[in-house]
Structure 1
């Protein structure tokens, strides 16, 4: 029985972010859509607690005999340590070098998901170490992987522009978790009273780091409150990333009253969905993105969206949101005000968003990934190689 191995180390990252959600959701969907005769196994670096990587329908997680730091160093150095399997899918650029063909033995296929081109287009929004590592790993994937999977056509075009290589690049869009797609009248089985949510609020979801445009958003919220002191509060859902973005201090700098800007941190999916459904609008002011998953999740939940003109986000939104120029706090403030104060406009955006989100699913994403691996497996003659 051929085996698809999925590298699941991102599930243990201190700040898993959107790539963590992608890894978990894709694993679930791959297991649900596995072709007859195939198995799906998750593989992680050496660790003791494996609960976060235990997903129904997925074998494993199988534990490699090396810790994460060693594994990262080995693969960055190009050491051809293979994690096993007849096909490997790396949900992030952390991936082994392509396994060479040996004699008549089959070469296992390797697909690597590259979520964005930020290390080339916006390197100042990442750490130097992060830029260097991603450039090395993505460049290698573009030369040596069988397939590079990207979430949008925008990322595909940017990679082709900035990164040499003849690897086949395939666009496979993300999906929407079912927890966000529940009908409006369906009550979610979760209690969020402990979050003490305000009656009206603007919501922003994402890691707290420079490229998310939070300074522009807080500026926009301050402008809203200058016009109307009863304007909505701003709730931020996400963990602190690099750069130590401090929304509370930024809010104080703009003279906003205490509690106007609140950070809720990382929330479980059910709580996030409940918080999202209660929002007046989702704001996505990012300077750079490869997809913009919160935009799609908000649309699925029936929440109007105001987003920046990042090409990938514009592509995902498909005209169902309000687009504003990156870095333009005044335009962002005006657009948020229009959505919040005009219930007819808000309802039209919410309906358009639900229709747009219905075009995306994790099942479709998994089926597209399976197609790549199955075709690659059939194209490689010979025997199946042994695992590492």
Structure 2
């Protein structure tokens, strides 16, 4: 008898798959590659255009089946939030997010539902989400507390925050992610950098001008007197509310044109920009995505990061940690000192590059997939 693991891959059909879409793609591919004997992997997706089904099946070769629900994504999300539909039936279900059919079920009959929590932003920073999205996430986390057999998180730090919101007991499992597949510097890296308008030496960060994301702190740090004059590449939106990235940069003391922003980049261009950066800066005050550090490490880029628990746990000393403390001038000054040190001290930069590259080896999608299979076996 063949055991079927059904993965909710609906994020691959979302208008903007985003970080969860990348996670879904890489984890599901690894689950297929590590399928134990007498097991198989199938997918679950909401009602979508046929082209989406074809694309998902092409992106996930080896998928045994792709179950299409009768409801479209928006309607299915509402139905699953209220527990009003039995679609897609029972069996062993693994969701790469909170988007899952969470309802009362009998595990003894072979039914399991495992969900993945990527952050607690709906509670810690609800202003970062739409009112509807925040309410849906909080409601689904509560349903997971009632009905999920296990909850997967990427770090022990996130496990602690999720556990503080609801007492999941021993149902929380820490299974790390890894660098996205395809993050390899292509042969035409120099041409791509030139096309993107970047010089040979520059710094890089990810995020928006929301205060807790820390991009404003990086701008303020680079605007300090005596700082090395390196351009900054920012991957993220150019505006937040009424604030414009270019204006905030100038107000911070940076010359016009010193900040280059990109809404998104292809995997190839991201590898070029991230791999070519003098340093990658992860300045968030809280709720940091560990995958950003892992990707920088994998390309040997020196990493400067805030000392929030997720980053400290992920880096394990391979990056240069900067204490956030009470975010403000003190943090900006410490960030400026760290950036100046990495830019001007080649030995420290080289040590961070080597340490990061070594640390990246601790994370792989194959290992993550094998741990997911073991989790379901344990259940």
TM-score (norm 1): 0.86
- Corresponding position: 1:129 with 2:163: no
RMSD of Structure 2 on Structure 1 (CA): 2.5
Q: Give the match for residue 217 of structure 1.
A: 218
Q: Is 1:7 aligned to 2:8, yes or no? A: yes
Give the structure 1 partner of residue 70 of structure 2. 65
1:14 Cα deviation (Å)? 4.3
Structure 1 unmatched ranges of 5 or more: 377-388
2:88 to 74, 83, 86: 83
Superposition pairs for residues 13-28 of structure 1, below 5 Å?
Answer: 13-28=14-29
If asked which structure has higher relative contact order (CA below 8 Å, sep 6+), I would say: 1
Contact 2:186–2:268, Cα closer than 8 Å, also in 1: no
- Paired with 1:306 and 1:130, the residues of 2 have a C-alpha distance of 31
Q: Could you give the per-residue CA deviations for residues 271-306 of structure 1, whole angstroms, max 9, x where no partner exists? A: 211111110000111122254211111011100101
Q: Could you tell me which residue of structure 1 aligns to residue 264 of structure 2?
A: 266
SS at match of 1:64: strand
Query: For 1:63-113, what per-residue CA distance to the aligned partner results, in whole angstroms no more than 9, with x for missing partners?
Result: 3221111011101112243324621111111111135239xx824211101
For residues 261 and 302 of structure 1, what CA distance do their matches in structure 2 show? 23
1:37 counterpart residue number = 38
Moved more, 9-18 or 131-140: 9-18
* C-alpha separation in 2, matches of 1:245 and 1:60: 47
The corresponding residue for 1:227 is 226
Matched residues in 1 for 2:377 and 2:36: separation?
9
Q: How many Å separate the matches in 2 of 1:73 and 1:203?
A: 38
TM-score by length of 2: 0.88
1:92 aligned to which of 97, 100, 103? 97
Take 1:135 and 1:29, find their aligned partners in 2: how far apart are those partners?
29
Count of equivalent residues = 367
Aligned to 2:313: 315
Following superposition, the deviation at residue 371 of structure 1 comes to 0.9
Deviation at 1:117, TM superposition (A): 2.6
CA distance in 2, matches of 1:210, 1:2: 47
Partner of 1:203: 204
Return the alpha-carbon distance in structure 2 between the equivalents of residues 60 and 258 of structure 1: 53
| Partners of 2:305 and 2:321 within 8 A in 1 | yes
Give the match's secondary structure for 1:314: helix
CA separation of 1:243 and 1:281: change in aligned 2, threshold 3 A? same
| Post-superposition CA distance 1:234-282 (Å, at most 9, x none) | 1012457985763223213324222211112211212211111110000
